[in-house]
């Protein structure tokens, strides 16, 4: 039997005006936005609806903003019950509200703590990320390892987005060396991204400790369907395991290609992206060409 997967985007899919239409046309959505403003102790809705790109790019705004857009759209516009859920990086928190592992309030608090902790880690270790196109994953992994062994600089695969698109993460020097070597090895592009830090790398260790304490103190319910988590790329239903994977995600890679493959193997044929972008719809189709994809925002 074919299954319906709901997927949720991560950082980078924000835009000014996000969620405004929902707020203005849906009373339940408006209520949830106002609740979020109280929980976060600032009017994030104002920044989402009318903030500049620069304001929306700040990690402590971006993460809760994308989470809110995704979760409020899911709660107010989706009537289908998901057979499985997944999220790209930050999107995993949205997925855990969709499958009822986390309450809206608890997940928002965790996202806020995660965003602030990551912001602090970025300030502590100036670092960056780069997108590598059209080079096999194992070749990228091999070059990253060589650079780390030779120079001691941190360079690791961070996001396996789809075949032929892998994002690497590390120190500024490490990423510069990696971009040169990856291009020399045949990468079509190795492009430094406009991000403020090395997400999904060991340079996020300080943030991981802070997030771990918050996650351990939060109630995780038994989910209504499995979540396919980034770090293990397989179905997880056990609350203790979900917590561990969510903590590990800060310093480990997002295995999105492998996650989509696992969902496909378990019967998913229909993928709905819920949130402010269409990025994941495109990635799913690159991994699984026959998939039916659509979006809700």
pTM for this entry:
0.96
The CATH number of 3-123+202-296 is 3.40.366.10
Q: Please give the angle made by the CA atoms of 57, 256 and 167, to the nearest 5 degrees.
A: 55
Interval 177-226: pLDDT, tens: 999 999 999 999 999 997 879 999 999 999 999 999 999 999 999 999 99
Q: Which among 13, 45, 70, 89 is annotated as catalytic?
A: 89
Q: Examine the residue annotation and report whether 89 is marked as an active-site residue of this protein.
A: yes
**What is the location of CATH 3.30.70.250 in the chain?**
126-192
pLDDT more than 90, % of the chain? 93
Regarding beta strands 189-192 and 292-296, do their DSSP bridges make them parallel or antiparallel, or are they unpaired? unpaired
Residue 3 pLDDT more than 80? Answer: yes
Give the per-residue pLDDT at 16: 95
Parts of the chain belonging to CATH 3.40.366.10: 3-123+202-296
- When the pLDDT of each residue in the chain is averaged and rounded to a whole number, the result is 96
Burial label, 51 (beta-carbon count in 10 A; 0-12, 13-18, 19+)? buried
pLDDT at 175: 97
Burial class (CB in 10 A: 0-12, 13-18, 19+), 1: exposed
Give 90-140 pLDDT, tens digit per residue: 999 999 999 999 999 999 999 999 999 999 999 998 899 999 999 999 999
- Which pLDDT band holds residue 246 (cuts at 50, 70, 90)? very high
pLDDT per residue as tens digits for the range 79-103: 999 999 999 999 999 999 999 999 9
Q: Which of 69, 88, 127, 200 is catalytic?
A: 200
The predicted structure's pLDDT at residue 13: 85
Query: Does pLDDT of 1 surpass 80?
Result: no
Average of per-residue pLDDT across 255-282: 97
Report, as an integer, the average pLDDT of 28-40: 98
Give yes or no: 277 in active site. Answer: no
Tell me the longest C-alpha to C-alpha distance in the chain: 58
Whether residue 272 is predicted with pLDDT greater than 80 in this model: the reply is: yes
> The domain 126-192 is classified under which CATH number: 3.40.640.10, 3.30.70.250, 3.40.50.720, 3.40.50.300?
3.30.70.250
């Amino acid at each position: 039997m074919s299954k319906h997967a709901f997927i949720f985007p991560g950082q980078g899919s924000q835009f000014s005006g996000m969620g405004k239409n929902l707020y203005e046309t849906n009373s339940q959505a408006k209520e949830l936005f106002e609740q979020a403003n109280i929980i976060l102790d600032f009017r994030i809705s104002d920044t989402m609806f009318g903030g500049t790109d620069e304001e929306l790019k700040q990690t402590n705004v971006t993460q809760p903003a994308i989470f809110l857009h995704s979760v409020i759209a899911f709660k107010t516009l989706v009537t289908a019950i998901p057979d499985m859920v997944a999220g790209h990086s930050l999107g995993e928190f949205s997925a855990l509200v969709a499958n009822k592992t986390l309450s809206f309030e608890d997940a928002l608090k965790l996202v806020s703590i995660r965003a602030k902790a990551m912001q602090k880690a970025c300030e502590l270790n100036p670092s960056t990320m780069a997108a590598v196109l059209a080079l096999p994953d194992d070749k990228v992994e091999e070059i990253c390892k060589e650079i780390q062994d030779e120079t001691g600089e941190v360079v690791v695969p961070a996001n396996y987005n789809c075949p032929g698109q892998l994002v690497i993460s590390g120190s500024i020097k490490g990423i510069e060396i990696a971009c040169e070597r990856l291009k020399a090895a045949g990468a079509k592009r190795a492009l430094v991204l406009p991000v403020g830090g090395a997400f999904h790398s060991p340079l996020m260790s300080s943030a991981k400790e802070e997030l771990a304490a918050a996650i351990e103190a939060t109630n995780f319910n038994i989910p209504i369907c499995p979540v396919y988590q980034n770090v293990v790329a397989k179905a997880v239903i056990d609350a203790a395991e979900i917590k561990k994977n969510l903590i590990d995600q800060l310093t480990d890679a997002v295995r999105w290609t492998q996650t989509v493959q696992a969902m496909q193997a378990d019967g998913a044929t229909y993928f709905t992206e819920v949130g402010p972008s269409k990025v994941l719809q495109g990635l799913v189709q690159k991994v699984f060409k026959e998939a039916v994809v659509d979006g809700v925002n």
